[in-house]
Structure 1
Amino acid sequence: MTIAGTHARMPLRRSRSGRNRFAAVIAAVALILVGCQNGSSSSDHGRQELTVAALPLTDSAALYLARDRGLFAKEGLDVRIRPVQQSIQALPALIKGQVSVIASANYVTYLQAYEKGTLDLRILAEGVRIAPHMMDVLVPKDSALRTPADLAGKKVAVAVLNNIQSLTLNAILDAKGAGRPVYRQILFPQMGPALERGQVDAVHAVEPFDSAIRGELGARVLLDGDSPPVQGLPASGYVTTRDFVQKHPKAAAGFRRAIEAASEIAAQDPGAVRAELPKYTKVTADQAKAIHLPTYPATADPAQLRRLVRLMRDQGLLEKDIDPAPLLAR
C-alpha cells in the first residue's frame, strides 16, 4: 500500500454521526487529482483513455494486473491510475467527471453518497471481499489488552470514521457481547507510528500495512477482521456514475470485463498478486510472500452486497434499504 509523495498526518478527533460527518467531508474535501481535466478521452493511438483513482492496497491488485497483462488494451482502453490515500478523496473528482472510476472504493462511503443524492452510483465490478487476516486489530506486543472484550472504550485507529472498518468491528464485537471502542481517524501509513507512540490503544489495519506493523513493531493480532458475522463480506469495489455508463457504455463494459478477468487470475493464482504488489506498494517481494490476501470475486453478487446494506442499516449508516442489484452495471 504505497501512496506517492509525503504522507500528511491526520489529526485525531472524535467521530460525529456517520451521516453528518459524510456531508461535512464532501463539503470540505479539496480536489486532489490536480491535472486530471477529464476522466475519459481518446488517446493518440485510438484507445479510450480512462483515469482511475486507486488506493494502493491489496484491494487494487486486479486493476494493476489488468493494466500490466494487457487486459485493458485488449478492450481498447488506456487506463491511467492516480493514487489516493482515501477513496473518499476522489469522490469530488468522480462527481465532476475528472476521474472515470474509483478502484478499491469503500462501499460504505459510496452507498451513503447514493442515498443522499450526492452520487448517482454504479458499481462496475466487485473489488474484494474480506478474507482471514486481510485486516486485523493490532495491539502493541506488551499491551494489557488480551481479548476483544478489552477493546470496550479503548482508542482504535481506523482510516475513515464510520466506515467499513468500524462497521465490521462493531458487528464482530456486538456478536460477542463485547463493548465498542472509541474510533480515531488515522491514515494507514500513520497507524504504526501512532500505535508506537501510544496515541491509540489498537489499530484496525489492512494489508499490506497489517503485515508491516506486525513486522516492524512486533505488534500482535488481537482480533481477525474476518470473524463472524462479517466473514466474506464485500469490502470494496470499482465504482463510477450512471452518467459515465450511459455516455461510454463500451468503455464501461470493457473495463468490467478486464477487471473480472484479472480478478479470476488473482483468485486462481495468488502468486500473480504477490508479484504485482511490489510494483505499486512499498512492500518488497519477500514481504509480499507473507501478506494475507483478500478474496477476489470474478463476478459481483447482489446477495453479498445486501449483507453489507443490512449491516449499515443496523448501525445507522443508512436511513433506508438500498437494493444493490440495479446499481450493478451490466
Structure 2
Amino acid sequence: MTRTLRCRALVLGAAVALTLTACGGNSDSAGSSANSKGLEKTVIKVGALPIPDAVSLYIANAKGFFKEEGLTVQPVVITGGAAAIPQVKSGALDISQTNYVSTFLAVSKGEKLKLVADMYQAGPNTFNIMVPKDSPIKTVADLKGKTVLVNNLRNVATLAVTTQLKVAGLTETDVKFAEKPFPQMGDALKSGQADACWITEPFITALQSAAGFRKLADTMTGETEDLPMAGWMATDGWAQKNPKTLAAFQRAVAKAQDLASSNRKEIEAMLPTYTKIDAKTASVITLGTYPSALSATRLQKVADLMLDYKYLSSPFDVKSIIAAPSNG
C-alpha cells in the first residue's frame, strides 16, 4: 500500500480544500474542551489523500465528531503513505493516511510506526487492469512481454497485478512494470507508451465512459479478495505520548466509518468537497468498504501475501503494530 496509494493523490489532483479545520471553535475554546477531557493535544494535523478512501476524516469534521471529542483536526494533503512517514516522524503531521503494504515494508526495515485506525478495504472492481477499447489484449495471459502501468513499483499495485499473472500462468518477470500517475495513464496507453494499466476509481469510470476502455481483470479477486488497503498511522512515540488524544481520534473516526459504511449518500455528498470528483461521478463510482475497527486477522492477510510474493523476507506479526483503542 511505499508510496502506495500515494500517487493516488495525483490521481485526483489537488484537493479543493488543502487545509480544512474541524467544525467550530477557536483555539481557546478547543483548548478548554480538550483540557476538560484530559487530552494531551488540542489541535492535530492529519495527512490525507484527496481520494474516497479518506472520506471518514472529512465526515467526522463536517458532522462535529472530532469537536465532540475536544479535538480540532486539520487535514493536510499528502502525496502518499510512504511519503508521509518522514512527516509523522518529524512531527509535521500527528497522524497520516497510509496503505498497509507501505507500512509493513517500512516497519520491516526498522521504522517505529503504529496503525491507529482502519480506513478502506477493497471491493469488486475497485482496482482493475484496463486496456484501450481497440487493444488486441483480451486476457491476462496476453500481457506476457507487455508493459503495465502502475502508480508505484514494488507495492500494492504490482502485488495485486502479480496475483492475477499467477492465475494466468505468468510471473511478475513476464511483464514490464512502469510508473505513471493515475491521471496520466489513459493518455499514456492511447499514445502507445504502455499496453495496460492498473487503475482505481474514479478513473475506472472515467476511462470507460470517455474513452471506452475495457476491464481486463479485477485484481481484487482470489488471493486479494476484500484486501485491506489503507488505514491511519502514527509513530510509536506519538501514540505513547498522546494516548487520550489518540483515543479521541479513534472514537470519532470509528463513528464516521460507521456512517460511511451504512449510508453511501454521506460519501457522495462529501467527495466533491475535498476531491475533484463531481457529484455525478460520485453517484456512480464503485467503492470498497469502510471498516470501523482494525482487525489483526484481516490485516495479517496482507502481510502473509507480501511474504508469499517475497515483498517481505520473514513473517510479520501485524498485532505488534496495532495501537489498541483506549477504554478511556
- On the 8 A contact 1:155/1:201 being kept in 2, the answer is yes
Question: Amino acid of the residue matched to residue 126 of structure 1?
Answer: D
CA distance in 2, matches of 1:68, 1:277: 12
Confirm whether residue 244 of structure 1 aligns to residue 228 of structure 2.
no
Q: What SS does structure 1 have at the residue aligned with 2:307?
A: helix
Q: What SS does structure 2 have at the residue aligned with 1:44?
A: helix
Q: Provide the residue aligned with 2:141 in structure 1.
A: 149
Q: What SS does structure 1 have at the residue aligned with 2:154?
A: coil
Q: Provide the residue aligned with 1:2 in structure 2.
A: 12
Superposition deviation, residue 206 in structure 1: 1.3
CA distance in 2, matches of 1:243, 1:113: 16
Q: Provide the residue aligned with 2:28 in structure 1.
A: 44
Specify which of 299, 308, 315 is matched with residue 305 of structure 1.
299
Q: How many residues align?
A: 294
Question: Amino acid of the residue matched to residue 214 of structure 2?
Answer: R
Q: Provide the residue aligned with 2:38 in structure 1.
A: none
CA distance in 2, matches of 1:191, 1:106: 21
Mean CA deviation greater in 80-89 or 257-266: 80-89
Question: Amino acid of the residue matched to residue 44 of structure 1?
Answer: D
TM-score, normalised with respect to structure 2:
0.85
Confirm whether residue 91 of structure 1 aligns to residue 85 of structure 2.
yes
Confirm whether residue 128 of structure 1 aligns to residue 128 of structure 2.
no
CA distance in 1, matches of 2:112, 2:86: 12
Q: Provide the residue aligned with 1:188 in structure 2.
A: 182
RMSD over aligned Cα, in angstroms? Answer: 1.9
- Residue by residue over 1:140-183, the C-alpha shift from the partner in whole angstroms, topping out at 9 and shown as x without a partner, is 11111111111223211111111111112212321342343321
- Residue by residue over 1:181-219, the C-alpha shift from the partner in whole angstroms, topping out at 9 and shown as x without a partner, is 321111122222222222121111111222222223221
Q: Provide the residue aligned with 2:163 in structure 1.
A: 171
CA distance in 2, matches of 1:90, 1:281: 19
Gaps of 5+ in 1: 6-32, 36-41
CA distance in 1, matches of 2:168, 2:143: 12
- Residue by residue over 1:92-133, the C-alpha shift from the partner in whole angstroms, topping out at 9 and shown as x without a partner, is 111111101112x1111111111111x211001111111011
Confirm whether residue 66 of structure 1 aligns to residue 49 of structure 2.
no
- On the 8 A contact 2:260/2:267 being kept in 1, the answer is yes
Question: Amino acid of the residue matched to residue 115 of structure 1?
Answer: S
Specify which of 308, 314, 328 is matched with residue 322 of structure 2.
328
- Residue by residue over 1:22-68, the C-alpha shift from the partner in whole angstroms, topping out at 9 and shown as x without a partner, is xxxxxxxxxxx9x9xxxxxx933315211111111211111111111
Question: Amino acid of the residue matched to residue 119 of structure 2?
Answer: G
CA distance in 2, matches of 1:203, 1:194: 9
Q: Provide the residue aligned with 2:3 in structure 1.
A: none
CA distance in 2, matches of 1:278, 1:177: 41
Superposition deviation, residue 86 in structure 1: 2.3
Confirm whether residue 280 of structure 1 aligns to residue 274 of structure 2.
yes
Q: What SS does structure 1 have at the residue aligned with 2:79?
A: coil
- Residue by residue over 1:252-292, the C-alpha shift from the partner in whole angstroms, topping out at 9 and shown as x without a partner, is 11111111111111111112111111111112111111100
CA distance in 1, matches of 2:189, 2:60: 35
Q: Provide the residue aligned with 1:112 in structure 2.
A: 105
- On the 8 A contact 2:163/2:219 being kept in 1, the answer is no
Question: Amino acid of the residue matched to residue 295 of structure 1?
Answer: T
Identity of aligned residues (%): 35
Superposition deviation, residue 245 in structure 1: 0.7
Mean CA deviation greater in 72-81 or 189-198: 189-198
Gaps of 5+ in 2: 1-10, 20-25, 35-41
- On the 8 A contact 1:132/1:294 being kept in 2, the answer is yes
- On the 8 A contact 1:138/1:219 being kept in 2, the answer is yes
